[in-house]
Structure 1
């Protein structure tokens, strides 16, 4: 194995494969990156047995015979980062990996690659392709609502639902729910529903962040494959799926609202941030509807209190209901998370007897539900 790569490319690919490195000390070979070179291609991969990342980079290799090794990514990254020239020469010499430039040489101890598991590639030719910018935006809009409760493993991932007309990504932790729809025609034999681990979602955001091409999704019985190009790099992310059934969350989306109104997003964000300064350790703020205004308040015995109002435009009001009685306690960080994922300048807020409903006023492909801390608080 003998090849040359730009220093910035080496640093980039190490960062791209890092999310699939194992932290299990009993499997040291999985905490290393697998490098295979030969026939003008370099392949770099990592796996923790749940998520695998494989990158292939075309480059001139000085031998056609394929050779492989395992190397500590922290050591390789450190050595390359201190190189002065823009290109580094990398060569396998026995059990070491030599990284050199003029007047600069490091020899890194490696591990035998025989124990590194082969990363499977999809055998199916049926795939659904999405522009990477659209896909990454969708992932970023739902990633914060996943649960960390291991007692409910199905909530620790993202529901991927593909039909012939759209792709829906959904996450919930029981306190809030994010749903993003990507409207596009898909050619599939039957609809797909799989729960993708949070770790995989985070890996996808890292691997494809600089991609300008499509990300293509292929599913098999127990795995899902995401493939695309990042510049000259061919990238593949392979993930196991989470067993179990995702909750029928459609049943908790309110169909009946006490009041629905429009409010300016940036003004609402600033008022909530100001109110958070005086919030207690529970991160609560109070929202009241008073005289066509939204009143935001918070109070803490140690720091003081806050009170501010924003003008709103009432869209709908349940017959016989008085908006003066609408009052909710909310987790301000959860509210800010939802608002940050809405692209519109104007926000539609719908208040029900259960969740609070947030959505853009014109682009309605994303919705965010938030449970009040006490739904009956007034």
Structure 2
């Protein structure tokens, strides 16, 4: 097997695959990338037994064959070579791959492609299409609220919900919740669908999506897997087998205090207050009165910070505490100049969304300071 390829042509698909390849693999071959050249088409595959990325590169010269080689080492070699270098990858009979570029030469160990584990083919039950921009928004506007290594395993992922001609994504770690939706004409899915996509899969899918692209993405689902396909890129992941919480029940409907706040200004004063917040609990206090928001924080070293800004609000005073990291992550996920903050009392979760946009909603539980 021999592959002749330009550095950048190989580096791009390797960069997409490297996030899936296991760093601490139980099987040594899972640290490798699967390479197959067949009729001038190069197939690259990375897998961790739960997720699998396949990329195709056309018009590649060489001799047909297949092998597996360390994904990390091959990727690092590509990155270290000068731009527009021409690479030759030759697989020899002694399970070695020789990589040549100019005067540089590298010899890598290979493992048989026959032993490379692939996800089994599956029958898809639902299929729909949306733009890269729409899917990117569904993932990035909510994924930061996913739990990490929670014993409630169903929280370690993102809920994808389909109803009518609308796709929703919801994430929660039990302390906060993020929800957004996009309308898709002619969605083609005539039943209510809920699927929980694992955290790692969500992060890797978002990496290859172009936030501004209108190009279509194909999404396929069944009870156990999701597939995302766009151009020469295909991503398959197992789903989390569990029941996502009824998120609509935790969103308060009786919030009677609504404050309009400049988003970027709020991010700035929260960031300043965060400097002296408790490093463990990250609490800040929001003191809201007529047309003024005061943000304050303190820590066990008896250090204090306070700042204030003007707001659009007329009503009774209220003081409420929050984890400043939760506030900042949600505010940075918004893209509007102003946000609408909804409150009831110091013991009830707040909600906020971009002013004039109810498609995306963030909920954060208060904390005692």
Counterpart residue number, 2:356: 362
Q: Judge conservation of contact 2:126–2:222 (CA < 8 Å) in 1.
A: no
**1:192 counterpart = 2:190:** no
Q: Once the 2 structures are TM-superposed, how far is the Cα of residue 100 of structure 1 from its aligned partner?
A: 1.6
- Structure 2: gaps (5+ residues): none
Deviation at 1:49, TM superposition (A): 1.0
Secondary structure in 2 matching 1:270 = helix
Deviation at 1:83, TM superposition (A): 3.0
Deviation at 1:122, TM superposition (A): 5.4
Report what 2:31 is aligned to: 31
Task: Indicate if the aligned counterparts of 2:276 and 2:305 stay in contact, CA closer than 8 A.
Answer: yes
**Aligned partner of residue 226 in structure 1, secondary structure:** strand
Identify the residue that residue 76 of structure 1 maps to in structure 2.
74
> Which residue in the other structure is 2:316 paired with?
323
Residue 179 of structure 1 deviates from its aligned partner by 0.4
SS of the counterpart of 1:274?
A: helix
TM-score using structure 2 length? 0.92
* 2:109 aligned partner: 109
Query: d(CA) in 2 for partners of 1:340 and 1:152?
Result: 27
Q: CA separation in 1, counterparts of 2:150 and 2:337?
A: 37
1-structure distance, mates of 2:168, 2:211: 23
Residues 164 and 177 of structure 1, relative CA distance in 2, 3 Å threshold:
same
Residues 210, 159 of structure 1: alpha-carbon distance in 2 compared, 3 angstrom cutoff: closer
Counterpart for residue 259 of structure 2: 261
In the alignment, is residue 163 of structure 1 matched against residue 157 of structure 2?
no
Q: Secondary structure at the match of 1:19?
A: coil
Partners of 1:119 and 1:149 in 2: how far apart? 24
Residue 256 of structure 1: how far off its partner (Å): 0.3
- Check the 8 A contact 1:19/1:202 in 2, yes or no: no
Q: 1:218 to 1:303 in 2, by over 3 A?
A: same
Does 2:225 align with 1:226? Answer: no
> Where does residue 87 of structure 2 map in the other structure?
88
User: Is 1:203 paired with 2:215?
Assistant: no
Map residues 1-378 of structure 1 onto 2, 5 A cutoff: 1-63=1-63, 65=64, 67-84=65-82, 85-94=84-93, 95-120=95-120, 123-124=123-124, 126-185=126-185, 186-209=187-210, 212=213, 213-229=215-231, 234-281=232-279, 282-300=281-299, 302=301, 304-314=303-313, 323-324=316-317, 326-353=318-345, 354-374=348-368
Shift of the alpha carbon at 1:39?
0.7
SS in 2 for 1:268: helix
**Shift of the alpha carbon at 1:19?**
2.1
Compared CA separation, residues 355 and 210, structure 1 to 2 (3 A): closer
Task: Could you tell me which runs of 5 or more consecutive residues in structure 1 were left unpaired when the two chains were aligned.
Answer: 316-321
Q: Cα offset for 1:301?
A: 5.2
Distance in 2 between residues matched to 1:108 and 1:117, nearest whole Å: 20
TM-score by length of structure 1 reads 0.90
Per-residue Cα deviation, 1:5-27 (whole angstroms, up to 9, x for no partner): 22122222111011221244431
Q: CA deviation at 1:206?
A: 2.2
- Give the C-alpha shift of residue 180 in structure 1: 1.1
What are the Cα deviations for residues 104-162 of structure 1, in whole angstroms up to 9, with x where unaligned?
A: 33222211122112344554485211211221132111111011243100101100011
The 8 Å contact of residues 344 and 362 in structure 1, kept in 2 or not, is answered as no
Sort the Cα spacing of 1:42 and 1:129 in 2 relative to 1 into closer, same or farther, 3 A: same
Q: 1:219 to 1:70 in 2, by over 3 A?
A: same
Alignment size in residue pairs: 362
C-alpha displacement at 1:314, in angstroms?
2.8
Deviates more, 1:43-52 or 1:146-155: 146-155
